Structure 1
Amino acid sequence: MQTPIKQVLWFLLAFILFQNGIQAAEEFTIEDIRVEGLERITPGTVFNYLPVKVGDRFDDALSGQAVRSLFQTGFFNDVKLERDGNVLVVQLEERPAIGSIEVNGNEAIDSEDLMTGLRQVGFAEGRVFDQALLEQVQQELRRQYFSRGKYAVKINTDVTELNNNRVGITIDISEGRTARIKDINIVGNESFDTDDLLDEFNLTTETWFSFITSSDQYSRQKLGADLETLRSYYLDRGYVNFNVDSTQVSITPDKKDIYITINISEGEQHKINEIKLAGELILPKEELVEQITIYRDDIFSRKEITATSENLTDALGDEGYAFANVNAIPDIDKENKVVDLTFFIDPGKRVYVRRINFSGNQKTRDEVLRREMRQQEGGWVSTKQVERGRVRLQRLGYFRTVNVETPAVPGTVDQVDVNYEVEEMPSGNLMAGIGFSQNQGLIFQTSVTQDNFLGSGKRISFSFNNSEVNRRFGFGYTNPYYTIDGISRGFNAFYQETDAFQANLTQYDSTIWGGSVNFGIPISEFNTLNFDFGYENTEIETNQRLGSSIVTDFLEGNEGRFDIWRAGTSFTYDSRNKAILPDSGTLQRIRAEVSVPLIGESLEFYKLDYRSEYFFPLIEDYILNISTQVGYGDGYGGTEELPFFENFFAGGPRSVRGYEENTLGPKDVTSFGRNRPIGGKLKLVAGAEVILPVPFFKDNESVRISGFFDAGNVYGPNPNDPNYDPDNPSYDVKLSELRYSTGLSGIWISPFGVVSVSLAVPIGDKEGDDTQPFQFTFGTSF
């Protein structure tokens, strides 16, 4: 039975429909339909929605249906149906259109983003105005501001009538102050200190850096992520029954401060008891067991269990079981506080590669990409080899990004295609440029370089640069696949004039021209053996009065012209993921070089070089890079000492930062001014860097910031040593003579050139050292 209120409502509804339709009257056959009152909407639009047509028998039921249909379009404020003879007259009052939208006071949300959001919900200029939709817009704006911690936001709207049945909408926003987290409290933690748990959170109370990171601004999404982090923290430490019981978020009446309380139940810590493998063990059990990283009596750790599942999945994937599924099933014994683990393996079918496809390489030939592949068509798919192919393409330097997918072949269950999508970078470069470095001063340079000549992968370059230190011309050619097996061959020719005094060295000038040929032989996936042979014609000039005693003694009896025939070999192990700004992998390179007396005024000497770089992931996005450089050289045969212009040097942005470039090590003895560096026979340099995440740059491929610690020096005969004997030059290696520095460095591969900056604090510097705490280089092109 209907209540009196419902009866009244039904009566009013029936009355309204009756008043908006035709008075209950005699029925008639519609001979024509006339629409009146339209301003913007076309009659055709009305007829599309009107459920009556000429020839229909009009009655009360059809009248109500027509009125409802037109109202439901949302285009009209009022609908009336009238009769003029046998003509049905449709009287309409259009809703106004939105003529303009103006938003004021928004700072936290960009105006363009805000207007885009309004258009997506149908609230835009030219659309029909709907008051209900405007109220929905207000609620959505409040939600957006609440998600940004602005709980005191006030949103007022004003609707102004305009001509031609239009309205202007003004949205005034008073954002108010962002509410800050005043306190986060965890209740129920007994095993771990609250501060230790909160250190894992992204949300924090106010800190020195929260005005940058916004970590003290509450959002439901951030809290949800932190609760999951808290859960993982306990599950990785054996608390398998951990639970977040409740969370309370309260805000002060002034909408400025937020208090968060998290109630938890820790449960008890469990250990691993038994570990089993079950399911279809396609691979030998011994190989699968090697992938398990958690053992009996270890503390239960979800992280290690997940890692083991991934290891097992990868091992199966490398054998062609690309869709293998490994599930870890725990059996919890609450009484004994232990967990039995069963890794259930479902390998699925072995999957084969139908085709390897490339896209995005508009210029680079397919064969250049295909020769980098380690996965073969027709063979079973190996996730490791597919990924290795992606890394090899990335290391070419031709592509900005490289992505790979392995979609299943339609209609099959055991075939996939391997699709590599690349985004090419300009590999050719015609550049004229100006740069500046603290060591070389103003630099003018020009170069024509094509790293991927005609899409063939071959490299051709011609360069010229001119500075206070060097004037150099160079030409180079390299074919990385001189043979189908990947043996490379290259040629180089150059001419160089150097003013050593301008490079912080002792006074002499050199003019060198020559050329070389080199071969690279890959002996494994990561190992390469290189051979090179070259000739250099070297001419040294110095002022006998101003020059160093080492320089003058070496040149005594010589015209200062030398023919140097160099033969060198090197072994390289390189597993780095990128050629520029790598962040994983290892580089080790050892090189031996000897000058062989063949024709002309030859010098006889040898040099050994070792360089290494190791990248280790630390926590989250922090990466440790440890590097070393060791060099040693000496003369042999008729050359008693390593020629001074072949000496090793240290100091500057590429070795020990915080000291002027090339200034460490022995100094010469001159008849004027201060002594100048002369270099040494032995070089020892080491460094450690922590690569830091860059919060302000999305493109970490071109930006790097790191904290560093450098150490190093060079050792050799020192004319300033009171015990120095020019007839029997010798030196001692004293680790106490090492120089140290620490600080911050940054590299930006900008569109205008490479910018390198370091801010270092020298440690252990001594009197006479040339320190330079701030160092930078900058280049640009036009």
Structure 2
Amino acid sequence: MHAPAQHRPTSRLAAAIVAGWLGLGLPAWAVSPFVLQDIRIEGLQRTEAGTVFASLPFRVGDTYNDDKGAAALRALFATGLFKDVRLEVTGQVVVVVIEERPIIASVDFTGTSEFDRDTLVKALKDVGIGEGQPFDRGLADRAEQELKRQYLTRSYYGAEVVTTITPIERNRVNVSFAVNEGGIARIGEIRITGSQAFSESTLLAELDLTAGGVMTWYTKSDRYSRAKLNADLETLRAWYLNRGYLEFVVESTQVAISPDKQSISITINVREGQQYTVTAVRLSGNYLGKDDEFKSLVTIKPGEPYRSEAVNDTQRAFTDRFGLFGFAFARVEAVPQVDRNTGRVQVQLNADPGRRVYVRRINVAGNSRTRDEVIRRELRQLESAWYDGARIQLSRDRVNRLGYFSEAEFDTSEVPGTFDQVDLTMNVTEKPTGSLLLGATFSSAEKLSFNFAVKQDNVFGSGQYLGVELNTGKLARTLVLSHVNPYFTEDGISRTVDVFYRTNRPLNSQGEDYQLVTPGASVRFGVPFSELDTVFFGIGAERTTIKAANALPEVYFRQRAQFGDTSSSVPLTLGWQRDGRDSALVPNKGLYQRVNVEWGVAGDTRYLRSNYQIQQYIPLSKRFTLGLNGEFGWGQGLGGRDYPVFKNFYGGGLGTVRAFDQNSLGAVDVTGAYLGGNRRLNLNAELYVPFPGVGNDRTLRIFGYADAGNVWREGEKIGDSSENPIRMSAGVGLSWISPVGPLKLSWGQPLRYARTDRIQRFQFQIGTAF
């Protein structure tokens, strides 16, 4: 093989093979087979010669013929690197003449306000357009179509794309896409025809797609896409099937767009069929001799309309129960046997447990940041153990409860070559686990105050928590540093370390300048006694100094007289927590409980302080949620010593009784100071409803609330006493999971209050994630 030739006679094969390979109707001049003595390549600029030689179906010393020449051309064009290829024969030498395709030097976009550049660059790479890749006009056309497809997904039906190719030095090109996005095509009308049993408005309320409205700027539910329409059609089918309409079908859908491509109308034609009532449920197949056990799992009720949800729940319960016994691939088929004359249906459940298997290996995928061990220590299914559906479900729930992942699911795959082994793969999708919290309140006492917190729940992917909290209020300033290691021991015992510095100025109507300064630290351990229950215990140390000016309240005089300006405390803590809510951010159902007891066992003070809280979320319907909260706190001095005033409970404001100023409830000293008390009661109720116009979106909701509660000092009667009665308030609010984090606004009106109370009607809180 030699360098490119400088002179060669006209080839007998140059036009013949090219014309024959391209299928042109030109005369072909065949070459007689000969033994190759050399192969030469001309025209290469960037491509390695080895790439060309590797594509050729012949080598020096081989017998060359027309078929091999045609195969060489096909192979070289298939690489996608060359714009033109020719083969020329000189004697017993084949010369490969190459014209390389230009390389894309840059890809630019103009007029693309709807998409960021990275999204479009990634989409074009999937069709072969990207920096450093070979270019041809066919790829540019495909790129234009891909860009238009991207805009169609967001209802830009009038988007136009113009491609400009600019050649530059060294056989390169710049590719520029000028986009005229046009306007968004919005849904102007959705019609459902053929429905008899239910009104059109009832059915439209079940769809996520809506016609344009006041709030569609936020929900974007008036933007059409085929995927969204298909999802809504499935929702409609499920809705009817869950009400006994087994023969319901969507007969057709029509989607029409206006000539200016700005408005879309959708018509859905349905046929309901008749409603069927369940008369009997029968089990058939192999139930492992545990038929009665499986019958207890049936939620399909004879005498009621056929409900697909009940059927699906029963199938799922059967499959899960088979999984408890190691049958990973059990199949449960529900066969409705309908009688059209009477409108009745019998449901037959056919079960085939398959074979029993055990888990060979458990893999973890998708965790680019979180360490494998953080996930694996939550797994309750063991490798080389029998497949256990309950343990797998529990493992998934525990990983989800970590809060590090937006999604965590198991995939099950058979092991090739075996009949009784499976591999499990835990697929996770990581989400931001840091948070930046900013809260603000406004009142006549504190004016505008801010709360600031930086928290990282999964620092360095270790599963540990690290946080800094800062409160800049006029009455209360706090700096807290916290670290939580959820697996301080291999058995799952957690350790929490807090270091804090608090400055507290009790609310005082006369504005006197005195404050409590408390530095301290604590360590707490959490012991999991069950999958849902955790018991906490710990110890701390703190010192409280009373920095006084004039008009010091009487209780602080007594405190200082008994312990001095500075008093120390060594509290032991004991607590219990159970969290059964379906979501900590937007709970819809579930129960949450916690108990905490603090016992001052050493230092200057001796006391007992306890607090119990219970929350219950009740789904009233698909869109309405009732939240109930109750909290009771109690404190008592021990060993003949007074209960320390700086351990008092306070009421009023966020988290207690809204519409009252922060910490303003309870008895008032003669100096005008709000002192709190050693006992506290809070009762709260919230009813969440969708914001008008947002459909099924739960990220934006309004709520009405009713609060009741108060704090009481030693000697005061708890409850509805004339001296210090329970305060009540009611109001409305807005809850929004905004792009910058959870936002909550509330406005309220006191319903029962005392002359000394301060009113705070409006408050808000906002957070963001990074």
TM-score (norm 1): 0.73
- 3-state SS of 1:249 partner: strand
- 3-state SS of 2:732 partner: strand
- 3-state SS of 2:760 partner: coil
Cα-to-partner distance string for 1:213-241 (whole Å, 9 max, x where unaligned): 33222222222112111111111111111
Q: 1:773 aligns with which of 758, 762, 766?
A: 762
Paired with 2:499 and 2:120, the residues of 1 have a C-alpha distance of 59
The more displaced of 441-450 and 177-186 is: 441-450
Q: Does 1:333 pair with 2:339? A: yes
1:339/1:77 CA distance change after superposition, 3 Å: same
Q: Does 1:686 pair with 2:683? A: yes
1:422/1:188 CA distance change after superposition, 3 Å: closer
Equivalent residue, structure 1, for 2:13: none
Q: Does 1:665 pair with 2:662? A: no
- 3-state SS of 1:344 partner: strand
Aligned-pair distance for 1:187? Answer: 1.6
The more displaced of 177-186 and 259-268 is: 177-186
Aligned-pair distance for 1:714? Answer: 1.0
1:733/1:208 CA distance change after superposition, 3 Å: farther
Q: Does 1:612 pair with 2:614? A: yes
Q: 2:710 aligns with which of 704, 707, 714?
A: 714
1:708/1:373 CA distance change after superposition, 3 Å: farther
Cα-to-partner distance string for 1:358-381 (whole Å, 9 max, x where unaligned): 897999896x98776544566544
Paired with 2:330 and 2:388, the residues of 1 have a C-alpha distance of 12
- 3-state SS of 2:670 partner: coil
Paired with 1:103 and 1:460, the residues of 2 have a C-alpha distance of 42
Equivalent residue, structure 2, for 1:743: 733
Cα-to-partner distance string for 1:688-712 (whole Å, 9 max, x where unaligned): 4578999xxxxx9xx9988562513
Equivalent residue, structure 1, for 2:244: 238
Aligned-pair distance for 1:296? Answer: 0.1
1:153/1:756 CA distance change after superposition, 3 Å: closer
- 3-state SS of 1:176 partner: coil
Cα-to-partner distance string for 1:469-522 (whole Å, 9 max, x where unaligned): 568899999998899987789898988664324899987544668888877665
1:44/1:557 CA distance change after superposition, 3 Å: closer
- What is the letter of the counterpart of residue 113 of structure 1? T
- What is the letter of the counterpart of residue 669 of structure 1? V
Cα-to-partner distance string for 1:157-203 (whole Å, 9 max, x where unaligned): 45666677666655444332222222222221111111111112222
- 3-state SS of 1:312 partner: helix
The more displaced of 206-215 and 233-242 is: 206-215
**What's the % identity of the aligned pairs?**
33
Aligned-pair distance for 1:402? Answer: 6.6
Matches within 5 A, 1:117-196: 117-124=123-130, 130-157=136-163, 171-196=177-202
1:171/1:627 CA distance change after superposition, 3 Å: same
- Count residues with an aligned counterpart: 739
> Contact 2:700–2:736 at 8 Å: present in 1 too?
yes
Structure 1 vs Structure 2 CA RMSD: 5.9
The more displaced of 203-212 and 336-345 is: 203-212
Q: 2:592 aligns with which of 587, 597, 606?
A: 587
- What is the letter of the counterpart of residue 711 of structure 1? D
Runs of at least 5 residues in structure 1 that lack an aligned partner in the other structure: 1-12, 695-699, 719-724
- What is the letter of the counterpart of residue 771 of structure 1? Q
Paired with 1:444 and 1:758, the residues of 2 have a C-alpha distance of 14
Q: Does 1:281 pair with 2:278? A: no
Equivalent residue, structure 1, for 2:631: 629
The more displaced of 80-89 and 606-615 is: 80-89
Paired with 2:547 and 2:79, the residues of 1 have a C-alpha distance of 93
Cα-to-partner distance string for 1:39-78 (whole Å, 9 max, x where unaligned): 7777776666666777888888888777777777777777
Matches within 5 A, 1:53-92: none
Paired with 1:303 and 1:728, the residues of 2 have a C-alpha distance of 48
Equivalent residue, structure 1, for 2:267: 261
Paired with 2:744 and 2:137, the residues of 1 have a C-alpha distance of 59
Paired with 1:611 and 1:509, the residues of 2 have a C-alpha distance of 29
> Contact 2:333–2:351 at 8 Å: present in 1 too?
yes
1:620/1:318 CA distance change after superposition, 3 Å: farther
1:275/1:48 CA distance change after superposition, 3 Å: same
Paired with 1:445 and 1:632, the residues of 2 have a C-alpha distance of 29
> Contact 2:683–2:709 at 8 Å: present in 1 too?
no
> Contact 1:498–1:511 at 8 Å: present in 2 too?
yes
Q: 2:321 aligns with which of 315, 325, 331?
A: 315
Paired with 1:269 and 1:116, the residues of 2 have a C-alpha distance of 49
Matches within 5 A, 1:315-714: 315-353=321-359, 374-375=380-381, 380-392=386-398, 411-416=417-422, 498-501=504-507, 509-510=515-516, 523-528=529-534, 546-548=551-553, 570-576=575-581, 585-591=590-596, 608-616=610-618, 625-633=627-635, 644-670=645-671, 675-688=672-685, 707=703, 709=705, 711-714=707-710
Paired with 2:470 and 2:83, the residues of 1 have a C-alpha distance of 77
1:556/1:223 CA distance change after superposition, 3 Å: same
- What is the letter of the counterpart of residue 279 of structure 2? N
Q: 1:202 aligns with which of 193, 202, 208?
A: 208
Equivalent residue, structure 1, for 2:6: none
Equivalent residue, structure 2, for 1:4: none
- What is the letter of the counterpart of residue 668 of structure 1? D
The more displaced of 318-327 and 685-694 is: 685-694
Paired with 2:218 and 2:610, the residues of 1 have a C-alpha distance of 48
1:527/1:70 CA distance change after superposition, 3 Å: closer
Runs of at least 5 residues in structure 2 that lack an aligned partner in the other structure: 1-18, 692-696
> Contact 1:276–1:343 at 8 Å: present in 2 too?
yes
1:436/1:769 CA distance change after superposition, 3 Å: closer
Aligned-pair distance for 1:271? Answer: 1.0
Equivalent residue, structure 2, for 1:697: none
- What is the letter of the counterpart of residue 270 of structure 1? Y
- 3-state SS of 1:500 partner: coil
- What is the letter of the counterpart of residue 705 of structure 2? F
- What is the letter of the counterpart of residue 546 of structure 1? A
> Contact 2:508–2:673 at 8 Å: present in 1 too?
no
1:710/1:414 CA distance change after superposition, 3 Å: farther
Paired with 1:617 and 1:328, the residues of 2 have a C-alpha distance of 28
> Contact 1:501–1:507 at 8 Å: present in 2 too?
no
Structure label with greater radius of gyration: 1
Paired with 1:223 and 1:27, the residues of 2 have a C-alpha distance of 63
Q: Does 1:761 pair with 2:747? A: yes
Equivalent residue, structure 1, for 2:16: none
1:116/1:46 CA distance change after superposition, 3 Å: same
TM-score (norm 2): 0.74
1:709/1:505 CA distance change after superposition, 3 Å: farther
Paired with 1:349 and 1:381, the residues of 2 have a C-alpha distance of 11
1:257/1:748 CA distance change after superposition, 3 Å: closer
Cα-to-partner distance string for 1:71-127 (whole Å, 9 max, x where unaligned): 777777777777766766777777666676555444444444334433433345666
Equivalent residue, structure 2, for 1:290: 296
- 3-state SS of 2:759 partner: coil
Paired with 2:364 and 2:84, the residues of 1 have a C-alpha distance of 61
